[in-house]
Chains A and B, each alone.
Chain A
Amino acid sequence: MKICFYPGCSFATSAGYKESTEAVCRKLNIELNEIPDWNCCGATVMFGENKLRATTLAARHFALVQTMGFEDLVTGCNACYATLRKAARLLDRDRELFQKTQEVLHNLGLELDRIPKVRHLLEVLMEAMPDSTSDKYKTLSVGAYYGCQLTRPDQELDKGWYPEILEHFLARIGFSVKEHSARTQCCGASHAVIYKNECQGLSHRIIREIANKGAQVITTVCPLCQFNLDQAQTQNNEPRLPVTYFTQLAGLALGLAPAELGLNKLLVSADKVLTRP
């Protein structure tokens, strides 16, 4: 399988997301075709600034996807996912905005005729991962954390408040899942960089809830969520739960080595829980 991949700006530098995604895709024969010369998606801030600029930042990738001959665009970041989908929706509904965006892109030497479908890497792996045949991780209980942008407000992927797709995924690939109530609570998002102290509490309540419900590991689907939840625990003693990417757990399920999956990059070490007998 070949997919057109949009990494977004936090993918490469995050704690093992890149390593694990690439390793898992290699193992599953998924060819990741990175969009050449990609730019920032505009993140959540751009729509508040200028609608045309916001859609153009996103639509530039849509045009590039078209040049590459793909129908879909895949990203592993919730903010990219939400932003690109929002732009796609606006362009689809607003004829005038679509034409203006086309003009701007035309001046950049790019043509946009159709809007690709924006998909999350989670969807791709949902389809590609084989069912687990091993009991190795059956006793490892995972708390799935979705973050606030994956299903809200656009609920196409799953229910808005209480999604379950990640739990289904984890159970299918051989992990034990702990239900909890923090799955779509906000982690502080990009505010965690600027308002660090204020946002610590937001991350802590998520970690506390997942720990209270008995999980040993947290798994995330977004670089910013992972970073916020992981770093919040560096100044805090209790509880300490490793915060993994879902791709890292997928890699473990496929029998890949922890080092190959960048698990050594986590701030709260996962060694103990993963290497238990």
Chain B
Amino acid sequence: MTTQNKPKIGVYICHCGMNIAPKVDVEEVARYIQELDHVTVARDYKFMCSNPGQDMIINDIKELGLNRVVVASCSPRMHEKTFRNAVRTAGLNPYYFQMANIREQVSWVTKDSQEATEKAKSMVAAAVARVFFHQPLDTREVTVAKSVLVIGGGIAGMQAALTSANAGYQVSLVEREPSIGGHMAKFDKTFPTLDCAACIMTPKMVDVLQHPGITLYTWSEVEKVEGFIGNFEVTVKKKPRYVDEKKCTGCGTCMQKCPTKKILSEFNEGLSFRTAIYTPFPQAVPNVPVIDATHCRVLGQNKKCGVCAKFCETKAIDFDQKPEFVTLKIGAIITATGFQAVNPTSLEQYGYGRFPEVYTSMEFERLNNATGPTSGKVLMKNGMVPKRVAIIHCVGSRDTRHKKYCSRVCCMYSMKFAHLLREKTGAEVWEFYIDIRSPGKLYEEFYNRVQEEGVRFIRGRVAEITDMVEDPGDEGRLTVIAESTLTRRTVRVPVDMVVLSVGLEPARGSEDIGRLLGLSRDGDGWFNELHAKLAPLATPINGIFLAGCCQGPKDIPDTVAQAMGAAGEAIALLAKGIVTTQAEISRIDPDLCSGCKSCIESCTYSAIRFDEARKVAVVNEALCMGCGSCAAACPSSAAGVKHFTDKQVMGEIEALLM
């Protein structure tokens, strides 16, 4: 090592306000580190990430001629970028920097102060030993495809697509159902303003369809995602519709003529029937039917039928349609896969599936909807108007046996139901709740309003819903049994109809989407955001963002805001036009490579190819994510990851063990 390259290390110990300093004796750590070899300066400071903190590093590099920097503070996930930038600003290669995490790994978890101080010393010393071996690394800049993929065509996906497309980017919106619209298309009114959902929703659906910047793939699924930020290569599978989208005029004759009429309608939550060739609802976008291959007489049962084809004037029916695969070049991905309502069957005490007059909230939405099975009249299965209705909150939510979390929207939609029931039927409405959660603009006011409308609120989780008759008044009704915790009495309320306000859970298939995209999910199955507070729309995978309920339960206003935000993130990325690739990637030494191809098999990113001429493995730097699988698999130590060399890692470990 020449004299000018001789390591001169600056070490900075952060107090992190009250997070590190009271537990770790930061001054003592600085004193100890100052004495280590190659350490030119060791300082402690209240907030290293603040402007003065960063300036301190920059000035020391310039004035003391530092050529290596260590900051001991929080997790690298939080501030590694910040400090690398500071080092770069001072004219040093940003990889001449190492971070020691003495907050999450020391002060937050170690009880004894002295022990914490000793631990911090050894972790900072390890960082010093490591940074000694650091080498300058270069990042490269790659151009970005100016296009966005949105997965999911509910209100979140639609809004994200519209915002991105309005900014001038090419958007591909993929929806697995025959129509966009998602859950919101099933709602009648929305809380707390009682806007008609269809009135605010259907124009947006048409906007999506007609927007020149949006390509709509309905009845389609994302099949494969390869590549990296700015340069994803996405394969979309268009499932066979058996109807030619270009020829179909949406006249609906095929649906009228289809003889298979007794299929439970998914859109109406099984409360009405549909035909085998169908659009989920009259306002579907696109207004092109699909054939349900399982129930179709021709496709599913090998029978002669083809009535739809006979009546179709434009000859749009095509029973021979096969799946089509489309490959897209994508710059950024917005995941908006949404939620599904919890199925309450396993909560046997509520008798869902056993008692015909016990409904889920989604069923009630349809029952209440002008385009629903009863044209918006709230009727029981016997055609009568209910005189008394119970609404049970937190079904499947806030329950350690089911979902631990609060589903956030149930209190408000329950009260919306109560209002609509009072207005439409005049029925007596009893709400059984644990706590009323109405934190939102005009939400508490809505709570007050429905109370004034005469809705009864009983604070207590319902124990049981039964058809047992204990009183003449129970005959032919359901009895709700609960403890009223405010009056400390058990209440038995005979009712005609029960609505179970079921909670939200991640949409079916979100596990598969997570696997395709490399997204992690939390214990409840929701996608993890990069940072709960400061990066709620980003994910640990660069270039992939989250919108709507796939990240956690949300109401419509929050979903729309988040969708616009996610689009904003995507736009910000694409507008810049370039992304910087990471420098910590694999390198395979051609002199050591024996050509065994173990690394090629181990690479999940398909980033290594085999050079037949030289008989060695070669890394594609644009695709490599630096995971290190190849380094572990390589039997001849030819593969290694830059910034994680044996010298660097062993140096760090040795110092830790000292």
Which residues of A are in contact with B by a Cβ distance under 8 Å?
159-162, 181-182, 185, 205, 208-209, 212
| Residue in B closest to A161 when the chains form the complex, CB atoms | B348
Q: Is the CB of A159 within 8 A of B468?
A: no
| Residue in B closest to A206 when the chains form the complex, CB atoms | B468
| Residue in A closest to B349 when the chains form the complex, CB atoms | A161
Cα–Cα, bound, A159→B348 (Å): 8
Choice from A160, A161, A185, A209 contacting B469 with Cβ under 8 Å: A209
Minimum distance in angstroms from A148 CB to a CB of chain B? 13
Q: Can you give 23 A-B contacts (C-beta < 8 A)?
A: A159-B348, A160-B348, A161-B348, A161-B349, A161-B464, A162-B348, A162-B351, A162-B354, A181-B351, A181-B466, A181-B467, A181-B468, A182-B468, A185-B468, A205-B468, A205-B470, A208-B468, A208-B469, A208-B470, A209-B468, A209-B469, A212-B468, A212-B469
Cα–Cα, bound, A185→B466 (Å): 11
The 5 closest A-B pairs by CB, nearest first: A161-B348, A162-B348, A209-B468, A161-B349, A181-B466
Chain A residues, CB < 8 A from B349: 161
| Residue in A closest to B478 when the chains form the complex, CB atoms | A181
Chain B residues, CB < 8 A from A162: 348, 351, 354
Minimum distance in angstroms from A182 CB to a CB of chain B? 6
Cα–Cα, bound, A219→B470 (Å): 21
| Residue in A closest to B355 when the chains form the complex, CB atoms | A181
Interface contacts beyond A162-B348, A208-B470, A212-B468: sample of 17 additional A-B pairs, CB < 8 Å, sorted by A: A159-B348, A160-B348, A161-B348, A161-B349, A161-B464, A162-B351, A162-B354, A181-B351, A181-B467, A181-B468, A182-B468, A205-B468, A205-B470, A208-B468, A208-B469, A209-B469, A212-B469
Minimum distance in angstroms from A144 CB to a CB of chain B? 15
Cα–Cα, bound, A219→B468 (Å): 18
| Residue in B closest to A179 when the chains form the complex, CB atoms | B354
Chain A residues, CB < 8 A from B466: 181
Cα–Cα, bound, A181→B477 (Å): 13
Chain A residues, CB < 8 A from B467: 181
Chain B residues, CB < 8 A from A161: 348-349, 464
Interface centre among A161, A205, A208 (most CB of B within 10 A): A161
Give chain B interface residues in 528-581, CB to chain A under 8 Å: none
Cα–Cα, bound, A205→B466 (Å): 12
Give chain B interface residues in 450-490, CB to chain A under 8 Å: 464, 466-470
Cα–Cα, bound, A161→B468 (Å): 14
Chain A residues, CB < 8 A from B469: 208-209, 212
Chain B 339-374 near chain A by CB (<8 Å), digits 1 or 0: 000000000110100100000000000000000000
| Residue in A closest to B475 when the chains form the complex, CB atoms | A212
- Bin chain B's interface residue count: 10 to 19
Chain A residues, CB < 8 A from B348: 159-162
Cα–Cα, bound, A111→B348 (Å): 42
Cα–Cα, bound, A209→B464 (Å): 15
Give chain B interface residues in 418-471, CB to chain A under 8 Å: 464, 466-470
Chain B residues, CB < 8 A from A212: 468-469
Chain A residues, CB < 8 A from B351: 162, 181
Cα–Cα, bound, A209→B469 (Å): 7
| Residue in B closest to A210 when the chains form the complex, CB atoms | B468
Cα–Cα, bound, A205→B467 (Å): 12
Chain B residues, CB < 8 A from A208: 468-470
Cα–Cα, bound, A212→B472 (Å): 12
Minimum distance in angstroms from B356 CB to a CB of chain A? 13
Cα–Cα, bound, A208→B472 (Å): 12
Chain A residues, CB < 8 A from B470: 205, 208
Cα–Cα, bound, A162→B344 (Å): 14
| Residue in A closest to B350 when the chains form the complex, CB atoms | A161
| Residue in A closest to B354 when the chains form the complex, CB atoms | A162
Chain B residues, CB < 8 A from A159: 348
Cα–Cα, bound, A159→B347 (Å): 10
| Residue in A closest to B348 when the chains form the complex, CB atoms | A161
Cα–Cα, bound, A161→B349 (Å): 6
Cα–Cα, bound, A192→B351 (Å): 29
Chain B residues, CB < 8 A from A182: 468
Give chain B interface residues in 282-328, CB to chain A under 8 Å: none
Minimum distance in angstroms from A267 CB to a CB of chain B? 24
| Residue in B closest to A182 when the chains form the complex, CB atoms | B468
Minimum distance in angstroms from A145 CB to a CB of chain B? 13
Minimum distance in angstroms from B395 CB to a CB of chain A? 14
Cα–Cα, bound, A161→B351 (Å): 9
Cα–Cα, bound, A181→B355 (Å): 10
Chain A residues, CB < 8 A from B464: 161
Chain B residues, CB < 8 A from A205: 468, 470
Minimum distance in angstroms from B177 CB to a CB of chain A? 32
Minimum distance in angstroms from B639 CB to a CB of chain A? 47
| Residue in A closest to B479 when the chains form the complex, CB atoms | A181
Minimum distance in angstroms from A58 CB to a CB of chain B? 26
| Residue in A closest to B347 when the chains form the complex, CB atoms | A161
Minimum distance in angstroms from B345 CB to a CB of chain A? 10
Cα–Cα, bound, A160→B464 (Å): 13
Chain B residues, CB < 8 A from A181: 351, 466-468
Chain B 111-151 near chain A by CB (<8 Å), digits 1 or 0: 00000000000000000000000000000000000000000
Cα–Cα, bound, A79→B402 (Å): 28
Cα–Cα, bound, A182→B470 (Å): 12
Minimum distance in angstroms from B398 CB to a CB of chain A? 19
Cα–Cα, bound, A182→B467 (Å): 9
Cα–Cα, bound, A182→B466 (Å): 9
Interface centre among A161, A181, A208 (most CB of B within 10 A): A181
Interface centre among B348, B351, B466, B468 (most CB of A within 10 A): B468
Cα–Cα, bound, A162→B466 (Å): 11
Minimum distance in angstroms from A160 CB to a CB of chain B? 7
Cα–Cα, bound, A161→B467 (Å): 14
Minimum distance in angstroms from A164 CB to a CB of chain B? 10
| Residue in A closest to B470 when the chains form the complex, CB atoms | A205
Minimum distance in angstroms from A187 CB to a CB of chain B? 14
Minimum distance in angstroms from A177 CB to a CB of chain B? 15
Cα–Cα, bound, A160→B346 (Å): 10
Cα–Cα, bound, A182→B468 (Å): 7
Cα–Cα, bound, A199→B400 (Å): 32
| Residue in B closest to A180 when the chains form the complex, CB atoms | B468
Cα–Cα, bound, A185→B354 (Å): 17
Cα–Cα, bound, A162→B468 (Å): 14
Cα–Cα, bound, A168→B429 (Å): 38
Minimum distance in angstroms from A206 CB to a CB of chain B? 9
Cα–Cα, bound, A162→B354 (Å): 10
Chain B residues, CB < 8 A from A185: 468
Minimum distance in angstroms from B474 CB to a CB of chain A? 10
Cα–Cα, bound, A208→B363 (Å): 33
Cα–Cα, bound, A268→B503 (Å): 47
Minimum distance in angstroms from A212 CB to a CB of chain B? 6
Cα–Cα, bound, A182→B469 (Å): 10
| Residue in A closest to B466 when the chains form the complex, CB atoms | A181
| Residue in A closest to B467 when the chains form the complex, CB atoms | A181
Cα–Cα, bound, A113→B86 (Å): 66
Minimum distance in angstroms from A3 CB to a CB of chain B? 31
Cα–Cα, bound, A160→B349 (Å): 9
Cα–Cα, bound, A55→B469 (Å): 40
Cα–Cα, bound, A208→B351 (Å): 20
Cα–Cα, bound, A161→B481 (Å): 14
| Residue in A closest to B353 when the chains form the complex, CB atoms | A162
Minimum distance in angstroms from B402 CB to a CB of chain A? 13
Cα–Cα, bound, A181→B470 (Å): 12
Minimum distance in angstroms from A72 CB to a CB of chain B? 28
Cα–Cα, bound, A160→B468 (Å): 18
Minimum distance in angstroms from B461 CB to a CB of chain A? 14
Cα–Cα, bound, A208→B466 (Å): 14
Minimum distance in angstroms from A179 CB to a CB of chain B? 8
Minimum distance in angstroms from A63 CB to a CB of chain B? 34
Cα–Cα, bound, A239→B464 (Å): 25
